[in-house]
Structure 1
Amino acid sequence: MNKSGYILGIDTSNYTTSLSLVDLMGNLVDDIRMMLPVELGNVGLRQSDALFHHIKNIPQASKPLMDNIKLKGELVAIAAATTPRPVKDSYMPVFMAAKSYGETIANILQIPFYEFSHQEGHIEAGIWSIDRKVNKEFMVLHISGGTTELLKVDKTNSGYNIEIAGGTSDLSAGQFIDRIGVKLGLPFPAGPTLEELALKWRGNSIEIPVSVKQTEVSFSGPETFLRRKINEIKSKEQIAYSVFSCIGSSLSKLIINGFNKYPLEDIIIVGGVAANSQIKSLIKGAKKLQNINIHFADSRYCSDNAVGIAILGLNNYLRRNKV
């Protein structure tokens, strides 16, 4: 059995084209991400437009990525995010780009092709980034541009069994951030620039009503409340700070209620919103969360990426081949 080689991971989410290479030791060789263009003032892309950009981006991203393995080894497997979640009938057109390119390359090279969900990729990237082994049930808080879900997770041989334990009843945390950010004239996705504004604020937070019932959180009410207040508030910095304060407080309550229902030991927090320093600080500082093992994914691997997909592919390849 060949002891050298690489696994290629591909993920084509709503707003990022991602390609990653890992070697058979689980080391990240390269990680290339290309953000999809969104016109200023818009709060997203149509699926057809996003798919078009992925089709254009993958060939551009693949050349520098594959240059790194010339004369060093060869591709032995390809893994792709082909669905949003690991459940029946989970589907979004954007993931067809990853599936189509990945499966075609695998067929041509006559190597294995492994399919996973985008959500499993987020979880695996988070676990890999903190170098943590998990062999039992644990909780995951997945907070991103399109998702706010509290998950009960159990690792399987090939990926994860995931049960939704709670989450948003309307807007995701990322949508709340983006809608307010775009309203303030910031580019989409608004998270990074809104955070820059928030870090400059030194005063009090606007008292935005927090809406959490059991394991269900709502951000539509806070968004509506803040939209009505925007013209009255002179400081964009205060608005930005208040958005993240509201989200941090809401998610802290959601986690507390989730662990009251499912008394597990650990929670891993993943997704683009998990990279926000203010939200991290609020969750870590919540008194009622002090007895829960909270693990934030490394901020570099919180946002959409193909690293977790590549690692899942590696795990499957090693299990099937005694390398």
Structure 2
Amino acid sequence: MNLYLGIDTSCYTTSVCLLGEDGRVVRDERRILTVPSGGRGISQSQMVYQHTRNLPELIERLRPALEGSRIGAIGVTHQPRRREDSYMPAFLAGWGCARSLSAMLQVPLYCISHQENHLLAALRPLGTVPADPFTGLHLSGGTTDLLYAVADEEGLSISRIGGTSDISAGQFIDRVGVALGFPFPAGVHLDAMARKGDMDIKGSRVFCRDGEISYSGPESQAQRQIAGGTADSCAMSCWTLKTVWNGLQELLDAGLAGGMDKLVAVGGVMSNGFLRSQLLRYAGRHHVRVILAPDGYSADNASGAAFWALWKERGHL
């Protein structure tokens, strides 16, 4: 039986994944990159160093799944977005590893962007890459983008139709979370704190113009309150998530105005239970079909790259 290997080396996580011929995950191994206490990220050189150390161990963990099987093809992320000017050294670690494995095993190698990987991870459970265009919502530590996507021979051709004009939703959450004393990345910790509070709290209004929203004002407001010692961690966590949703609602309204009827929502921020539930309610009110990644696959992972390798080799499941 052939298995299909995916590799992703992002700014947050080293990820490898094996899919079977039916598209199901056979083995999934990840390691979150280490960030110093109180830090809000690490340098690209540190990312490359950690990925280079992590990849051999994670790939070794795949070995038991290969008993009686072989690698049929490899998919890897080699840049953040599918654009000529999109480059980040962190992806060189995974790309170099994938190229070496492809050459030694004499199997095809398929390169896609990190953004395509996220969207394909959500599409994988459907067992198909849709031929029709769809709207994508990519929410992560460095990205808040509303997208127009359509499949082609190289993956997904993506155009940005809206997003943030300054910091992303993930950066807003991480900066507030770190200021509250949570480890980086702070999303899961802020989410856990918010679950203890009252989500009926009113978040801040988020400015939107021509499909571009801004979280910098609310972030400054939060930082002032935290620095002044007037912020309760639980209430601030609830307020932050509510404010993020206020901004996303503005963004989605712009998508509706452009004819959005099918939405694939991905990225680490979409792991948040409150935001997922709000999005599903919004979609129900506006008759939009929403596709979310399976539990555990909104955050950085390599299943989308593996799925693209499988799709290119088989064309069907």
- The residue number in structure 2 matching 1:167 is 163
1:147 matched to 2:138: no
CA distance in structure 2 between the partners assigned to 1:65 and 1:180 by the alignment: 37
Q: Deviations over 1:3-52 (max 9, x none)?
A: x2111110000010000001222121111010000011000010000110
> Are the structure 2 counterparts of residues 274 and 130 from structure 1 closer, same or farther at C-alpha, using a change threshold of 3 Å?
farther
Q: TM-score, normalised by structure 2?
A: 0.95
Cα pair 1:206 1:238 within 8 Å, conserved: no
Return the letter of the residue paired with 2:25: L
CA 207–301 in structure 1, closer or farther in 2 if over 3 Å, else same: closer
Instruction: Return the match for 2:303 from 307, 315, 322.
Output: 307
Report the counterpart of residue 277 of structure 2 in structure 1.
Answer: 281
Describe the SS at the equivalent of 2:145: strand
Deviations, residues 86-109 of structure 1 (Å, cap 9, x unaligned)? 121311000001110000111111
Give the Å deviation of 1:259. Answer: 2.1
User: Aligned pairs, how many?
Assistant: 316
Greater shift in the superposed pair: 143-152 or 61-70:
61-70
Matched AA of 1:18: S
Flag the 1:132–1:107 CA change in 2: closer, same or farther, 3 A: closer
**Using the alignment, how far apart are the partners of 1:239 and 1:43 within structure 2?**
18
Q: CA deviation at 1:214?
A: 2.9
Q: Distance in 1 between matches of 2:307 and 2:112?
A: 11
Q: Which moved more, 1:248-257 or 1:274-283?
A: 274-283
For the pair 1:7 / 2:10, whether they are aligned, the reply is no
Tell me, yes or no, if the aligned pair for 1:210 and 1:250 is still in contact at 8 Å: yes
Are residues 111 and 212 of structure 1, via their aligned partners in 2, closer, same or farther at CA, if it must alter by over 3 Å?
same
Q: Aligned equivalents of 1:11 and 1:39: distance in 2? A: 22
The aligned counterpart of 2:253 is 256
Does structure 1 residue 111 correspond to structure 2 residue 107? yes
Whether the aligned pair in 1 keeps the contact of 2:213 and 2:247 (CA below 8 Å) is yes
1:135 match: secondary structure: coil
Deviation at 1:289, TM superposition (A): 4.8
Q: Specify the code of the residue in structure 1 equivalent to 2:80.
A: P
State the Cα distance separating 1:178 from its structure 2 match: 0.4
Alignment match, 2:28: 31
Residue 206 to residue 25, structure 1, CA distance change in 2 (3 Å)? closer
- Give the drift of 1:235: 1.8
After superposition, the C-alpha distances for 1:255-313 in whole angstroms (9 at most, x for unaligned) are: 111220x2132011100001111112223334895222223222311000000000001
How many Å apart are 1:234 and its aligned residue?
4.3
Matched, 1:87 2:99: no
Aligned counterpart, 1:66: 63
Alpha-carbon distance, 1:204 to partner: 4.6
The aligned residue for residue 200 of structure 1 is 196
- When structure 1 is superposed on structure 2, of 248-257 and 277-286 the one drifting more is 277-286
* Percent pairwise identity: 34
Q: Distance in 1 between matches of 2:222 and 2:15?
A: 34
1:157 aligns with 153
In 1, the alpha carbon distance for the partners of 2:19 and 2:66 equals 10
Amino acid aligned to 1:237: C
TM-score with structure 1 setting the length: 0.93
CA distance in 1, matches of 2:199, 2:130: 41
Secondary structure of 1:80's counterpart equals: strand
- Give the equivalent residue in structure 1 for 2:209: 213
Q: Kindly provide the CA deviation profile for residues 55-99 of structure 1, in whole angstroms up to 9, marking residues without a partner as x.
A: 0000010111122112x2111211110111112131100000111
Q: Structure 2: how far apart are the matches of 1:208 and 1:318? A: 48
* Partner in structure 2 of residue 297 of structure 1: 293
Tell me which moved more, 24-33 or 196-205: 196-205
Equivalent of residue 239 in structure 1, options 229, 236, 239: 236
Using a 3 Å threshold, how does the CA distance of structure 1 residues 97 and 307 change in structure 2: closer, same or farther? same
Kept in 1, the 8 Å contact 2:203–2:242? The answer is no
Read off the aligned partner of 2:163 and give its amino acid letter: G
Structure 2 unaligned blocks of 5 or more: none
Query: Judging changes above 3 Å, is the alpha-carbon distance between structure 1 residues 234 and 89 closer, same or farther for their aligned structure 2 residues?
Result: closer
- The answer for the alignment partner of 1:190 in structure 2 is 186
Letter in 2 for 1:75: I
1:52 aligns with 2:49: yes
- Paired amino acid for 1:251: L
1:270 aligns with 2:277: no
Q: Distance in 2 between matches of 1:76 and 1:287?
A: 38
